[in-house]
């Protein structure tokens, strides 16, 4: 499996020395994600080169660099680890606590008045606490990224990352909750036991098929928004990308035949939202017969990967299987989103070379574009449930904001998240009014 590695390489400060290093990297079939000159002194430059590589498969790379007459492999950077050191999040007071009077007001004895007010009228919790700005980010560690069942504790850096993005992009407080429990009954009970602390629940990196049952049961039991991000956040951004691609190729998305390869959490969420959006024909492939049963229950048709590539106008793949799609299967004019990270089912460049009208991978089609605004909008509207209308409003807004050759906008543009938040908030209020 390829993961980010940051190499430290020293080169002699003369023409062509760095180019030789880059050629060695290219000869190993690796793509440079980022390059940065750390320092230059005494005729030598120290470079930080970020790659996605399989260390076992590419072990000879370091020796090849050392064999160059003008370069030397120094080692690996701790940049990623340094950015995680001590954690990525913290809780801070929202008001200055700088006098004894403030202390008495916010804690004892003054806080007792607020406690009694909420006891008498629970709705006051929205006015006098941070509950409308607080989301539980819950995992049981059964499907962390593409790493699999590595445990809740090992997934904590991912949950902290989600919390950091909530804080930075939309000003929400995300609280990581780790559950050492795989049984759906016990997961549901654990979340229900702590839900009063939070305005909404984000389920994260919980394996299929248990994730479907857990989310459905929590939605039934809790009067607050619950969303499994691996399903619905991914589906929203995928729908946004497909709206953009269909518009630019002159296709009617709802009338297209769409193939979904891989029907785990992400794939099932994508199919469900596409059907809700009005897409008439969806083909799906998966090795698990239960996944095909779920597909058919949503109105989709089971098919093989080859049949999907032969019939579908648009293909979305979420299998986690590198190189699953044979380049010879690509038909001219197809739209192909190979979303598995870090290794897609087909390289987008190869798909385009074989005639695809649009092709992208999971680096650009990322659910960070969806979940911050989805939760901020839901909390702002004080809605009790996420609706399809809210998800589709988010997707349509993202498609509208995409610019240039990109299918979706820049995930670090805070204006994007503000626009998604407002679209979701309005959709929630309209849904409530219609009910």
Averages of pLDDT over runs of 10 residues in the chain (435 residues) are 84 92 91 89 91 75 92 88 88 91 93 96 96 97 90 96 97 97 97 97 96 97 96 96 93 95 96 96 96 96 96 95 94 94 88 94 89 97 96 97 90 97 96 73
What count of other Cβ atoms lies within 10 Å of the Cβ of residue 289?
9
Residues 19 and 29 in one domain: yes
What is the domain-level CATH number for residue 361?
A: 3.40.50.720
Q: What is the torsional sign of CA 343, 346, 352, 354?
A: positive
Asked if residue 159 lies in contact with residue 204, where contact means CB atoms within 8 angstroms, the answer is yes
So what's the pLDDT on residue 3? 76
Q: What is the spatial distance between Cα 305 and Cα 292, in angstroms, rounded to a whole number?
A: 13
So what's the pLDDT on residue 55? 66
Our answer to whether residue 224 is catalytic in this structure is: no
Q: How many domains does the chain have?
A: 5
Residues 220 and 287 in one domain: no
So what's the pLDDT on residue 57? 64
So what's the pLDDT on residue 146? 77
Residues 302 and 362 in one domain: yes
Structure tokens at 315: 């293909």
Asked if residue 303 lies in contact with residue 376, where contact means CB atoms within 8 angstroms, the answer is no
Closest CA to 338 of 309, 364, 318: 318
Asked if residue 181 lies in contact with residue 140, where contact means CB atoms within 8 angstroms, the answer is yes
Residues 183 and 212 in one domain: yes
Domain range holding 329? 232-367
So what's the pLDDT on residue 229? 94
Q: What is the spatial distance between Cα 220 and Cα 417, in angstroms, rounded to a whole number?
A: 28
Catalytic residue among 42, 88, 107, 384: 107
Residues 40 and 56 in one domain: yes
Domain boundary among 208, 224, 240: 224
Who's near 22: CB < 8 A, 6+ residues apart? 32
Asked if residue 187 lies in contact with residue 181, where contact means CB atoms within 8 angstroms, the answer is yes
Structure tokens at 25: 């990297």
Q: Is 402 helix (H, G, I), strand (E, B) or coil?
A: coil
So what's the pLDDT on residue 369? 97
DSSP letters of 114-173? HHHHHHH-GGGHHHHSSGGGEEEEEE-SSSBTTTBS--TGGGHHHHHHHHHHHHHHH--E
Who's near 58: CB < 8 A, 6+ residues apart? 28, 30
Closest CA to 388 of 299, 309, 271, 301: 271
Catalytic residue among 2, 162, 224, 376: 162
**In degrees rounded to 5, what are phi and psi of residue 32?**
-80, 125
Residues 144 and 116 in one domain: no
Our answer to whether residue 2 is catalytic in this structure is: no
Residues 206 and 244 in one domain: no
Residues 203 and 266 in one domain: no
Residues 67 and 118 in one domain: no
The CA-atom distances, in angstroms, between 202 and each of 139, 293, 372, 378 are 9, 26, 10, 12
Domain boundary among 324, 346, 367: 367
What count of other Cβ atoms lies within 10 Å of the Cβ of residue 15?
7
What is the domain-level CATH number for residue 157?
A: 3.40.50.10380
Structure tokens at 344: 């897609």
Instruction: Flag whether the pTM goes above 0.85.
Output: yes
What count of other Cβ atoms lies within 10 Å of the Cβ of residue 251?
17
Domain boundary among 325, 346, 367: 367
Asked if residue 85 lies in contact with residue 160, where contact means CB atoms within 8 angstroms, the answer is no
Asked if residue 247 lies in contact with residue 399, where contact means CB atoms within 8 angstroms, the answer is yes
So what's the pLDDT on residue 77? 86
Residues 70 and 8 in one domain: yes
The CA-atom distances, in angstroms, between 84 and each of 87, 92, 100, 161 are 5, 19, 36, 9
Residues 373 and 339 in one domain: no
Peptide bond just before 203 cis, omega within 30 deg: no
Residues 43 and 103 in one domain: no
């Amino acid at each position: 499996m390829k993961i980010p590695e940051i190499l430290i390489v020293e080169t002699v400060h003369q023409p062509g020395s760095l180019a030789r290093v880059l050629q060695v990297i290219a000869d190993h079939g690796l793509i440079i994600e980022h390059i940065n000159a750390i320092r230059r002194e005494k005729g030598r430059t120290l470079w930080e080169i970020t790659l996605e590589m399989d260390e076992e498969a590419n072990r000879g790379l370091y020796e090849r660099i050392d064999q160059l007459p003008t370069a030397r492999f120094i080692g690996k950077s701790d940049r990623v680890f340094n950015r995680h050191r001590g954690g990525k999040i913290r809780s801070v007071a929202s008001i200055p606590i700088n006098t004894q009077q403030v202390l008495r007001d916010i804690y004892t004895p003054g806080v007792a008045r607020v406690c009694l007010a909420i006891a008498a009228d629970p709705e006051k919790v929205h006015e006098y606490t941070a509950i409308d700005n607080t989301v539980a980010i819950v995992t049981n560690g059964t499907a962390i990224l593409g790493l699999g069942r590595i445990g809740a504790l090992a997934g904590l850096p991912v949950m902290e990352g989600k919390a950091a993005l909530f804080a930075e992009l939309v000003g929400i407080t995300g609280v990581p909750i780790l559950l050492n429990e795989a049984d759906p009954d016990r997961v549901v009970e654990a979340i229900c036991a702590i839900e009063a602390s939070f305005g909404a629940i984000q389920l994260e990196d919980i394996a299929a098929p248990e994730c479907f049952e857990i989310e459905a049961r929590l939605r039934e039991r809790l009067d607050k928004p619950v969303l499994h991000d691996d399903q619905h956040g991914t589906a929203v951004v995928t729908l946004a990308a497909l709206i953009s691609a269909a518009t630019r190729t002159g296709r009617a998305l709802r009338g297209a035949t769409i193939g979904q390869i891989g029907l785990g959490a992400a794939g099932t969420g994508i199919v469900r939202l596409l059907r809700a959006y009005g897409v008439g024909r969806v083909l799906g492939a998966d090795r698990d017969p239960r996944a095909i049963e779920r597909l058919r229950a949503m109105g989709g048709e089971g098919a093989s990967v080859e049949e999907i590539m032969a019939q579908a106008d648009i293909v979305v793949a979420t299998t986690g299987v590198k190189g699953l799609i044979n380049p010879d299967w690509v038909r001219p004019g197809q739209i192909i989103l190979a979303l598995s990270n870090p290794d897609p089912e087909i390289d987008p460049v190869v798909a385009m070379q074989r005639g695809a009208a649009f092709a992208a991978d999971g680096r650009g089609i990322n659910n960070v574009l969806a979940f911050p605004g989805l939760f901020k909008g839901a909390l702002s509207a004080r809605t009790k449930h996420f609706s399809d209308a809210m998800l589709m409003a988010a997707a349509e807004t993202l498609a509208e904001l995409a610019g240039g050759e990109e299918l979706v906008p820049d995930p670090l543009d805070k204006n994007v998240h503000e626009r998604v938040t407002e679209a979701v908030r309005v959709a929630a209020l309209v849904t409530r009014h219609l009910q």
